[in-house]
Amino acid sequence: MPRWIQSRRGPAPAGRRPPGAAGGPEGGAARPAALRAALGGIGTTLDEGTTCAELTAAAVRLTGGSAAVLSRGGDSGPGYAGGSESGWDGGTGSGRGEGGLAGCGGDTRPGYRAVSGDASLLPAASRALAAAREAGSPAGGPPTGIRAGGAPAALVTPLTSGGDHYGLLVTARRGAPLGRAETELLALLAERAASHIRHARTHERISRTAGDLQRALLAEPGRPHPNLDIAVRHLPAGGRALVGGDWCETVRLHFGRTLLVVGDVMGHGLEAAVDMNAYRSSLRYIASADLPPHRVLRQMDDIAADEAERRPATCLLARVDPGRGQVTLAGAGHLPPLLIGPDGTAALLPVPVGPPLGTGLGGYETVTHPVAPGQTLVLFTDGLVERRGEDIDRSLGRLAGLRFPAGQDVDDVLDTVLSGLDAQHAEDDVAVLAARPRPRRPAGEPPYGTRASG
């Protein structure tokens, strides 16, 4: 590339500025510094629509006029399955300026997206599509010029990467047609953008898979004893699709006891969700032996430490025994639970600090606290309380300072917690579980879940 850039540089005729000088189309576009800046400004995020907008803005800066991405409506991936042989269906809409910065494939109609500059300079979408078809398959065809009846000169450049086709970059300007150097520069920009679009779509597929996996895993949180009221919530950070390894679980034990579990695997995405499933599976297997909570953690830690690829995780176990009016806690690097009284006041319950699971260090301990009907136990992951730059003790103090109206059920309690801490805007994923022991049944009252006849 340096050779052809250098070959096009030469002295300008006396009294005449070279085309594109000082930011104009040809000379300014050929400057290596401008090229590096243009390439560096494309693909700054993993969002396809943002990449398209960055591409067209760079094209306008380098060539002047206007630029837009032309995509087939309803496209959801490479290849545009179901289209014509060239990958395009030859939509008939004019498409000038439609869609704004909506992205490369998020509309139901073919048309221009991410328009930069004067949209009125762009040819009709149908003409650009026809030019692409006439030039051959967009996946392998070169940039194609369009000129008719005094209309502004336009160029159609395919967005291709690895044999996959992601749309067309359409550029237009009044006056002289785009030169060879500009055509090559636009092809380079289009290639860079297509590569980033490919990565963005891969990231989106992985995110969707991770979300589907975690939703499937969390669809069956276990079955507690009927002497406990349970509510569970999961919130991905920022409403994004990509989720992490936060999870909640309930395991029914003998003698009316229930084991409550909340855990947080390090990281986000598909790998964290897979490891979360592994921890959850080992928990269910170990807890079925009705071991004390600290021994459950120790065995989970041993299993995870033997798997080199397993990510570490924090975990909190709470074995609730409504018959005895107590809860036994054990933690593996996790934050303590919150206990809410019938009067709406709340306090954190101390838990012995143990190392995260997967370290192989062991050393877990238990502590037992009283818990009575009408009191609510809340277990949560750190995303609920942690805020960037804030001390964790202050974060926990904000949670303990919440006040809860009397008479709330467990779902209302979680609503108060999530709204009071603005969990919708949390910087990390959030999992939270609320449990409340039910009062003992009076003598002669039918068991939970049954009705008295007649």
User: CA–CA separation, 48 vs 103, rounded Å?
Assistant: 6
Distance of alpha carbon 326 from alpha carbon 321, whole angstroms: 5
pLDDT given for residue 11 in this prediction: 44
Euclidean distance between the first and final Cα of the chain, in Å? 91
CA separation for the pair 446, 234 (Å, rounded): 34
Phi first, then psi, for residue 115 (nearest 5°) are -70, 130
pLDDT reported for residue 95 = 41
Q: Are 128 and 136 in contact (CB under 8 A)?
A: no
Exposed / middle / buried, residue 448 (Cβ in 10 Å: 0-12, 13-18, 19+): exposed
Check: CB of residue 108 under 8 Å from CB of residue 206: no
How does strand 153-161 pair with strand 144-146?
antiparallel
Average pLDDT, consecutive stretches of 10 residues, N- to C-terminus, the chain (454 residues): 36 41 43 76 91 94 90 46 35 38 42 90 86 64 58 84 88 85 89 92 81 62 83 77 76 94 86 86 92 96 92 96 96 96 94 94 95 95 90 92 91 95 87 90 46 32
Write the CB contacts of 148 (distance below 8 Å, at least 6 apart in sequence): 127
The pLDDT value given to residue 338: 97
Q: Note the pLDDT of residue 38.
A: 78
**Edge-to-edge strands of the sheet including 313-321?**
244-252, 258-268, 313-321, 326-332, 367-370
Residue 170's pLDDT is what? Answer: 93
